[in-house]
Amino acid sequence: MIFGTSRKTLPRLRVWTGLALLLLSLQASRAAEGPQDLAAVLSALRQDNTATADFVERRSLAYLTEPLVVAGRLTYSPGGRLERQVTRPKPETMIIDGPLLTIEQNPKDPPIRVLLEDYPPLQAFVSALRALLAGDRTALETTFESDFESSGTSWRLTLTPKAVALADAIDAIEVAGKAGSLRSLEIAERNGNRTLVEMQPRP
């Protein structure tokens, strides 16, 4: 009441980067060869069906001597609905649907609903992710400067936020792949924290 929501919840960006990676890899595996430019990547990324992947996320904080590790499963549904189920160390579910972010931490408590836009980095990140999965280059480039480079079978997409609210929170999102699959996705936050997500598509 006094401070708005008392349990402020900022879902981590790394999840969504992880999801992007997953979907990139799903698409990439469809193509026999690695895409050699952004247009090719985007067209390969267009997702029309529900897709699921396991993920492992390593989060490095400046004041911690070892990263925090979280693992679970990610699901994307056409229309932009994203679901992240953490299985360890502690189960919890996060759903992004439209402008709302819903967090279910404890089955006994009612889910917490917050607005995506109250967490500008996440909001911008999700809108970029949705643009990627829709293969919508215009939407992507409204939010980010993109830098695509490839060398041999490896490629790397660096997304730098344009919007002030997002640029205040993150430096860049790096999506990396080799040949037809994605290897890693890493978010560098302004405060020096880094999050690395590795994906493994489920059949």
Partner 1 sequence: MTRRQLFILAVSYGLLGLASWLLAMTLTLRSDLSFVFPQDADQDVQLLAERLQKGPAAGLLLMAVSGGSLEDRIEIGNALATDLADSGRFDFVANGRPRPQGSNQPALFEKLYLLNPPVTAEDFSPAALRRGLEDSLAALAGAGGAATQDRLPSDPTGRLRRVMDFWSSQAQSQRAPGFWLSGDGESALLMAATAGSAFDLDKQTETLDFIDERFQALRGERPLVLAKTGPAVFAVASSRLIRQEMQKLTTISVFLVIGILILVFRTPSLVAVLLLPLGFGVLAGTAAVQGLFGEIHGITLAFGGTLIGVAVDYPIHLASHSATARSTQSAMQSIWPTLRLGLLTTLLGFLPLTLSSFPGLSQLGVFEIVGLTTAALVTRYLLPGILQPVGGATRADVPDLQVKPWAGRRLLRPIVLALALGALAYLVWQGPKVWETDLRKLSPTPAEARALDRQLRGELGAVDVRYLLVLRRPTMEAVLRDSEGLAESLQPLIDNGRLAGVDMAAHYLPSQAEQAARQAALPTRPVLERALAQASEGLPFRPGTFAPFLEDVTAAKDSPLLTYADFEAAGLAWRLAPLLFRQGDDWVGLLVPRGLTDPAALAAFATESKIDGVGFLDLKTGSEALVADYRNEALEWLALGAVIAMGILWLGLRDSHRVGRIVAPIGLTLVFTVALLSAFGVALSLFHLLSLLLVAGVGLDYALFFEHQGRHREAAAPTLRANLVCAGTTVSVFTVLALSPIPVLHGIGLTVALGAAIAFALAFFFTETARCRDS
110 binds partner 1 (CB under 8 A): yes
Residues 170 and 193: their CA atoms lie apart, in Å, by 9
Q: C-alpha distances in angstroms, 49 versus 34, 77, 111, 186?
A: 21, 7, 27, 25
89 binds partner 1 (CB under 8 A): yes
Residues 191 and 80: their CA atoms lie apart, in Å, by 29
**Which residue type sits at 34?**
G
| Member of 32, 48, 49, 63 binding partner 1 (CB under 8 A) | 63
| Member of 49, 65, 138, 151 binding partner 1 (CB under 8 A) | 65
66 binds partner 1 (CB under 8 A): yes
- The encoded tokens of residue 147 equal 């830098």
Closer residue to partner 1 (CB): 105 or 150:
105
176 binds partner 1 (CB under 8 A): no
| Member of 36, 115, 142, 200 binding partner 1 (CB under 8 A) | 115
Q: C-alpha distances in angstroms, 174 versus 17, 77, 201?
A: 9, 23, 19
Binding residues for partner 1 (CB under 8 A): 1-13, 59, 61-66, 68-70, 89-90, 92, 94, 98-100, 103, 105, 109-110, 112-115, 117-118, 191, 193
